[in-house]
Amino acid sequence: MEKFEKATFAGGCFWCMEHPFEKLDGVSEVVSGYTGGHKANPTYEEVSLGITGHTEAVQILYDPVKITYKELLNVFWKQIDPTDRGGQFVDRGGQYRSAVFYHNEEQKLQALESMKALEESGRFDKPLVTEITEASNFYKAEDYHQDYYKKNPVRYNFYRLNSGRDSFLRKKWSK
């Protein structure tokens, strides 16, 4: 029987974080939700107002025999601006901060190592500010947020195009 592990990442709008992970071999499930805050069972409206301390995040269930945590980290870094403390792209506020929420010490070490390697690569000209913190309660977002890019492709593509995410990522990762 396969043993699955969890990985939890925040990179701004969770709609934009599902697709890159769902297409990976070895990933069983990607769930949009909220984590890192102080309120139990927060709603989208509460998180959006920035009153819960939570950030939008995705929790990934994966088979470590088929895909490693390090590979997931490599995908994560290529979805975000790790130098932006105020949110991600058009989404502003702590509820859109970037973070790696580790589930064990090995994940913590790998996250710290990958962030250090990225910083030393010189790809970014500002310090990396992505949080690396212990995972806490993860609250699944409302059903209409799950697989939003599949359910609402026109709205999703319009949002994504106008968010500035793709142009930033092309500029930073096309080298």
Domain containing residue 142: 5-173
Please name which of 69, 71, 72, 85 lies closest in space to residue 12, comparing C-alpha atoms.
Answer: 85
Mean pLDDT of all residues in 126-144: 97
Active centre residues (catalytic): 13
Q: Is the pLDDT confidence value at 1 over 70?
A: no
Mean pLDDT of all residues in 48-65: 97
CA distance 41 to 94: 18
The whole-model pTM stands at 0.96
Banded pLDDT at 2 (limits 50, 70, 90):
low
Banded pLDDT at 174 (limits 50, 70, 90):
confident
The share of the chain scoring above pLDDT 90, in percent, equals 98
Mean pLDDT of all residues in 137-152: 96
- According to the model, what pLDDT value does residue 160 have? 93
Tell me how many domains the chain contains: 1
Token readout for 50 is 């920035």
CA distance 173 to 152: 27
Domain with residue 66: its CATH number is 3.30.1060.10
